[in-house]
Amino acid sequence: MTIQPRTLKGQETQAKLLQTALDCFAAEGYKASSMRVIAARAGVSLSHAYYYFSSKEDIVARLLLNLRTEQFERCRSALDEGNTLESNIRAVFTSGLSVMQPYHEFGPAFLKVLLSQDQVDNELSAVEFSLWEKAVSGARPLPPLGIRSDLPKFLSLLSRQLFSVWAYDQSANQRRSLLLMDNAAPVAAKFAVLCRLPVVRSLFADVLALMDSGSSVQDHQDRQTTRSKVPKAS
């Protein structure tokens, strides 16, 4: 994005450029939708596109955000109907797949956007996270109280891993990732239930602490402090 236009006409141009790009992506695919093609289709010069978007990746990021938002709209209601956690997890997975499938060839580009963005403070992560929050809070029976508040973060991380498998999945129609997600849903749900047991619960705590130690929030803390968050094992 990089620039927000001062004038109305500027905003319109930027919007038109973005819409053209998205259309072009859908119609022609990633490689064929060069910046030159997009600019031409939007009726502006190549360099003008760069006035509004600092890179092609910038536009891809918007596409990804759009898709996630559509996924959110598409399955938000289903998550509130008192189904099991497993079925809610599955709902998020399948809605994601159906929204993303037409853009599977964007996989690597999507992943790059996802991984290079700040994992805490960005709109995309917020949408993803709110999906998992709904999936957890709308599940009946509710997951164990002790982990209820941490579960969305955990699921959100899990889904990123699955997404990265999907992104490079070369099997026909991404059969393998579809299968993987189908199988992951019950396992994750089972894990949540087993967290009632102290042993499993403490494992979950360890994993959560790991996730924190890998997040950018800790960037200004020193090593000693952070380390103490992870209980020694042996």
Residues near a copy of itself, by CB under 8 A: 84, 86, 108, 111-112, 115-116, 161, 164-165, 167-168, 171, 175-177, 179-180, 182-184, 186-187, 189-191, 193-194, 197, 199-200, 203, 206-207, 209-210, 213-216, 218-219, 223, 226-227, 230-234
Task: Report the distance separating Cα 130 and Cα 128, nearest Å.
Answer: 6
- What string marks each residue from 22 to 61 as x (binds DNA by CB under 7 A) or -? ----------xxxxxx------xxxxx-xx--xxxx----
Least separation in angstroms between CB 136 and a copy of itself: 15
Structure-token pair, residue 230: 């992870």
Cα(217)–Cα(145) distance, integer angstroms: 25
Verify binding: residue 129, DNA, rule CB under 7 A. no
| The entry of a copy of itself, DNA, none that residue 77 binds, CB within 5 to 8 Å by partner kind | none
Which residues lie below 8 Å from residue 188, measured CB to CB, with a gap of 6+?
85, 86, 89, 155, 158
Q: Per CB under 7 A, does 15 bind DNA?
A: no
Helix ranges restricted to H, the chain: 8-28, 35-42, 46-52, 56-75, 85-100, 107-116, 123-137, 145-148, 151-167, 175-194, 198-213, 223-227
Nearer to DNA, 20 or 71 (CB): 20
| Residue 59 one-letter amino acid | I
Residues near DNA, by CB under 7 A: 3, 5-7, 9-10, 13, 32-37, 44-48, 50-51, 54-57
